Chains A and B, each alone.
Chain A
Amino acid sequence: MRYNRTSKALVLSAALALTLTACGGGGGENPSASSGGDASKVITANSTEPQNGLLPANTNEVGGGRVMDLIFTGLVSYDATGKPVNELAESIETTDAKNYTIKIKSGQKFTNGEPVTAKSFVDAWNFGAAAKNAQLNSYFFESIKGYDKVSAEKSTLDTMEGLKVVDDTTFTVELSRPESDFPLRLGYTAFYPLPEAAFKDPKSFGENPAGNGPYKLAENGWKHNVELDLVPNADYSGPRKPANGGVTFKIYNSFDAAYTDLLANNLDVLDQVPPSALQNYKTDLGDRWVNQAYAGNATMTIPSYLPEFKGEAGQLRRQAISMAIDRQQIIDNIFFGAKQVAKDFTSPVLDGYSDSLPGNEVLTFNADKAKELWAQADKIDPWPADKVFTITSNIDGAGNKEYITAMANQISNTLGIKAELNPIPTFKEMRTLVGEKKLTGASRAGWQADYPSLYNFLGPLYGTGAGSNDGDYSNPAFDQKLADGLAATSVEEGNKIFNESQEILLKDLPVVPLWYQAVQGGWSENVTDVKFGWNGVPIYNAITGK
């Protein structure tokens, strides 16, 4: 799921967040037994207008994503802790992490009556990858053999050679290289199956999709910019059985309005307390709130193309800057204690996470050590006397300006150099600057996981030439570790190697990790059993009326 403009800035928090299973704030605990609830209640929840038509491979932001995840179901879905649970998959088997044989359950159907077969998956994935369909998530299929050909500009091909239908319930996937975490990805929106109807007229299908998930879109259910009405899908037989009579997503353009509605019990579930209410939401909502870590982090990129940050001196400078930042102080004073100091490059909710990687002391505030490292770097290559260390950030998201200014002041005070915020008015402009590699200093960054895996926090961001490697980081030793981790045949083995790769990152610091994100949410007096998932999205199907 992409990091959208508002969520990036507004998700200010994270208190305890030890692991996702250890329920966050303490106030947010709700009765675990769901007996006696009103299963016919229609839940209202906040959302944003989906950016595109509801097609799996074209939905890359939360507004559309949370709807897609309810009206479709893929081979697997993720439980609250991010563990994949089989939905349509009977089995996903491999011996070499490169060739997969996938068997699906039979007898399932889409809401338009078409059966869900192996072909529904193969066709949907081919459709998503092909350049001529211009689907935003097409890069998700890049590991599949033949992707390079269908995705090339002006390509008219529409099938990847790596996908083969064996029979109605079996298909095989051949990747272009071994990737042990491929099965973990299969719960992501891009990998959902599609019925034939979708390919005939993708545009009108996107307006009125026929899915196979626990819910379906009500008739004329998508009232643009107003609300989306979902009703339970009687044909669904998977593990996410709805405990309510439907979900209505109300479209809000500001979290303040949504929060006011929540206070008036005019909205049942809010997944983001606005910054203006962060100080008071716990008292406002009694025991109807949650504050728990989700799979996202905040970092500061120091691009490799900056001359002052190259070579040995550059490495020392990066470490010095990281140790000059007192993360806890910023969290306490600007985010009201609601985030968690980063100890690595990933997220504590992930399987394989470690808070004690060798070398992670570089992420702890240490003014003396920072000064010492900076002085060492100056001996090799003196920092120009009038040089200002800038941190570029868009300031249209609440809180950005405040925390980056604070960070710049800490760096300035500790290292005795000039440091300041380089404010950019909008997210759009910021992305352009970062994308064109025109930064003259550091920049605000962050990542929100698409699927729960350590690799998702490492490969796309720091691999040489990777899609979101905004700082142009490149280290062959790191690339080798990533490849080794992907070639591992078990997830545990892979995670071990990925953590070793992080030790390289902790020395090079292509980005300076700052903190882990957490979700602050709340619910009304009319609902119960509200829990939030590994990705900070409420588990809508489990919510029930009081």
Chain B
Amino acid sequence: MITFTLKRILQLIPVFFGATLLVYFLVFATPGDPIAALSGGKPMSPAVEAALRAQYNLDQPFWVQYFLYLKNLVSFDLGQTFSGQPVSDVIARAMPVTARLAVMALAIEAVFGVIFGVFAGLKKGKIFDSTVLVASLLVIAVPTFVLGFVLQFVVGVKLSWAKPTVSSGAPWGDLILPAVVLGLVSLAYVLRLTRTSIIENKSADYVRTATAKGLSRRRVVVVHILRNSLIPVVTFLGADLGSLMGGAIVTEGIFNVPGIGNLLYQAILKGESATVVAVVSVLVLVFVIANLVVDLLYAWLDPRIRLV
């Protein structure tokens, strides 16, 4: 298992270089001049313009720009934003907020998704099952931004149960509402995955054997049915952590969360390569590590799976 982990970590290196090169090129290739946008249509003296271009290497051809970026990267210098702040600081401020949001969303979808999924699966065709199925279909069908705005208005403005936006320091309490919005769609998928899986497994031979042995209903469900049903769910959750971290742009926008999604969006609009590349690289790392954890979890859930 250690070799397996090491191999996977080594694979990170080419993935990382490929991703940074691609993203750097994409930002480079977007039309429009970031320095022209900085002046916002007001005049800028040629000397100032030249100085700014030189400062961000924008006067260099693509390969030189990318090489200089890599060179700084080796010494753990992620570059500067157009406002002169180190990109590493900017990410260090935004990352914990998004991580907290993503973990909360993941917890909500995992806990509620699995619990509802198990009950729905065990009581297939009953009223609870049908209700849950219809509700999850609705959640999947409604776009996140509609859900976000409606919940924000009803809970935040009309009922005043929570603040409509996240306040300074992004306290856990303020993040509940955005986390629910962020996790709701995935919750519906987790629920459906769990339900299907449970239905398949509950008529399996080993379940009948376990029941015949006289094991308690609780032990049959938790140890025999659930554990075997979790593999597809865990795969989904692992991949989902990555999308929750990087795909929270809409939710972060609605609730004004100062996280990675917002940061990335603003940086793309400004054409700030250093920030975009750094953020995307971090997200790539998150994806890869989440996948690694999922693979390790497989072996734990199902001892038949060998990691090589």
Find the A residue at minimum CB distance from B269. A426
Given contacts A253-B256, A266-B165, A428-B36, contact A468 B52 (CB under 8 A): no
Given contacts A61-B40, A435-B33, contact A254 B256 (CB under 8 A): yes
Most buried by A among B42, B90, B156: B42
B186 to chain A, nearest CB (A): 23
Let me know if B83 and A428 touch, CB within 8 A.
no
Select one of A2, A5, A256, A426 contacting B42, CB under 8 A: A2
Let me know if A153 and B46 touch, CB within 8 A.
yes
A-B contact pairs, 28 of them (CB 8 A): A5-B269, A51-B82, A132-B51, A135-B48, A136-B44, A138-B47, A154-B47, A223-B168, A224-B89, A224-B93, A226-B168, A250-B256, A252-B165, A253-B262, A254-B253, A254-B256, A256-B254, A257-B165, A257-B256, A427-B37, A428-B34, A428-B269, A430-B32, A431-B40, A435-B33, A460-B43, A467-B43, A468-B42
What class of interface size applies to chain B in its complex with A? 35 or more
Select one of B84, B94, B156 contacting A225, CB under 8 A: B94
Other than A51-B82, A136-B38, A426-B32, give 18 A-B pairs with Cβ distance below 8 A: A3-B41, A52-B83, A60-B40, A132-B51, A136-B39, A136-B48, A203-B84, A225-B262, A226-B168, A253-B266, A257-B255, A260-B156, A261-B256, A263-B164, A266-B163, A431-B41, A434-B41, A467-B43
Q: How far is the CA of A226 from the CA of B46 in the complex (A)?
A: 33
Q: How far is the CA of A264 from the CA of B89 in the complex (A)?
A: 32
- How many residues on the A side are at the interface (Cβ–Cβ under 8 A)? 61
Q: How far is the CA of A427 from the CA of B94 in the complex (A)?
A: 25
Mark each residue of chain A from 520 to 532: 1 if its CB lies under 8 Å from any CB of chain B, else 0: 0000000000000
Residues of A within 8 A of B262 (CB): 225, 253
Let me know if B83 and A51 touch, CB within 8 A.
yes
Residues of A within 8 A of B55 (CB): 134
Residues of B within 8 A of A206 (CB): 84
Q: How far is the CA of A239 from the CA of B90 in the complex (A)?
A: 38
A residues contacting B by CB (< 8 A) are 2-5, 49-53, 60-61, 131-132, 134-136, 138-139, 151-155, 203, 206, 223-227, 250-254, 256-258, 260-261, 263-264, 266, 396, 425-432, 434-435, 445, 450, 460, 466-468, 470
Given contacts A226-B258, A435-B36, contact A151 B84 (CB under 8 A): no
Residues of B within 8 A of A254 (CB): 253-254, 256
Q: How far is the CA of A134 from the CA of B40 in the complex (A)?
A: 16
Q: How far is the CA of A260 from the CA of B157 in the complex (A)?
A: 7
Let me know if B50 and A431 touch, CB within 8 A.
no
Tell me the residues in window 18-63 of chain B with beta carbons closer than 8 Å to chain A beta carbons.
31-34, 36-48, 50-52, 55
Let me know if A155 and B33 touch, CB within 8 A.
no
Find the B residue at minimum CB distance from A254. B253
Let me know if A153 and B50 touch, CB within 8 A.
yes
Given contacts A426-B269, A428-B271, contact A260 B164 (CB under 8 A): yes
Let me know if A261 and B164 touch, CB within 8 A.
yes
The 6 closest A-B pairs by CB, nearest first: A467-B43, A2-B40, A429-B32, A428-B32, A131-B47, A134-B51
Given contacts A226-B168, A253-B256, A432-B36, contact A264 B157 (CB under 8 A): yes
